[in-house]
Amino acid sequence: MKHVYLDNAATTQIRDEVISVMTETMKGYYGNASSSHGFGRSSKSLIEQSRKTIAKYLNVSAGEIVFTSGGTEADNLVLRSAVRDLGIKHIVTSKIEHHAVLHTIEQLEDEYDLSVSYVGLDTDGGIDYTHLETLLQSENKTLVSLMHINNEIGNILDINRVAKLCKTHHALFHSDAVQSVGHYEMDLQALSIDFLAASAHKFHGPKGVGFAFIRKNTGLQPLIFGGEQERGLRAGTESVHNIVGMEEALKKAYNNLNKETDYIKGLKRYFIDKITKEIPGTTFNGCSGDSNKSTYTLVNICLPIPPKKASMLLFQLDLKGIACSKGSACQSGSSQNSHVLTEILNDTDLQKPSIRFSFSLYNTKEEMDYVIDVLKEFME
């Protein structure tokens, strides 16, 4: 049986070079980075070098990078501290954000005197920027939280436009950039963004590590208390091998960005052209079928299959060795429809099967052919 992994928006295969660097680090740098002896200082030195490298690629100062366990913790750190410590009374977000943002905001709404506004969306899930500007005219201190690239439908936010609107209206701006860091160049000096979240396992690095970009002098306070690690913003013994692995993954991603982007774009174009031809009636959710408006790393398709038969599709794909997703990996155990697709699809299309296929440099055109053949066989 073939094995085809097309769920890269959920997590990616770790590069061999990253595994090698992590293995060497675990063998040779096992001292606690907070210890004052030589073993500890050596570990600390590796962490700070990783911080400088990551900061360089984003064009920020090293002190603005705070290591976390991943994107979810980074989102929680920013949102909770903004409300608890920075006097935020109004959050503007959308109903198609990642649950790391949506559920955190819902909890904050229960705990604090906080108002939440949801910006309007068009039929493809695009942000209504005029409505956003209206919401920013609130008299309360406001934080905007909008993801750069939607993890289910791939829509790309005009992050520069949002940043300028926030600056004009004296609002803070946070973006979950988990699907874009390592896939797109980002100059955070040129971008008026205050907070950003990233996760290593989305760009061929290890799971369990990520970072928050926190603009200096914003006044953010820690979410996790204990020691003075991460300049007091994130207590806990640092995972040195994971941090070094993330650095290596980001280096490889950005040093090979143009070549790998062109390759994956080619796979996406090939997949779109072939499935449109081979399975008439296939539609693309959100902007995922438009390469100018969506990320090159994924498509989300809606297949013309009756509801009764649709329930078996993912099971059949799995039996054929194909890994993909009906939504985000965080929802894979849920019987409910994707909250993103529920916002943008009509009732008829919601009854049809929608599948997210997400690509990486490790995929091939031959795999695309196999997947489409399996889909055709199932439909017939």
Distance CA 241, CA 95 (A): 36
Query: What does the alpha-carbon distance between residue 278 and residue 378 come to, in Å, rounded to a whole number?
Result: 13
Evaluate whether 6 touches 357 at the Cβ level (below 8 Å): yes
> H or E stretch including 197?
strand 195-199
Q: Which two tokens stand for residue 179?
A: 């699907």
User: What is the C-alpha to C-alpha distance for residues 35 and 367, in angstroms, rounded to an integer?
Assistant: 49
Candidates 166, 287, 302, 330; catalytic one:
330
| 330 catalytic residue (yes or no) | yes
Kind of pairing between the strands at 172-176 and 195-199: parallel
| The length of the chain, given as a count of residues | 380
> What's the maximum distance between 2 C-alpha atoms anywhere in the chain?
68
Strands of the sheet with 172-176, listed across from one edge: 65-68, 210-214, 195-199, 172-176, 142-145, 90-93, 115-118
Instruction: Please give the Cα distance from 276 to 354 (Å, whole number).
Output: 15
Single-letter residue type at 101 = V
**What SS3 class is residue 108?**
helix
Compute the half-sphere exposure of residue 13: CA atoms within 13 Å on the CB side of its CA: 13
Pairwise CA distance, residues 343 & 338, whole Å: 9
Catalytic residues: 330
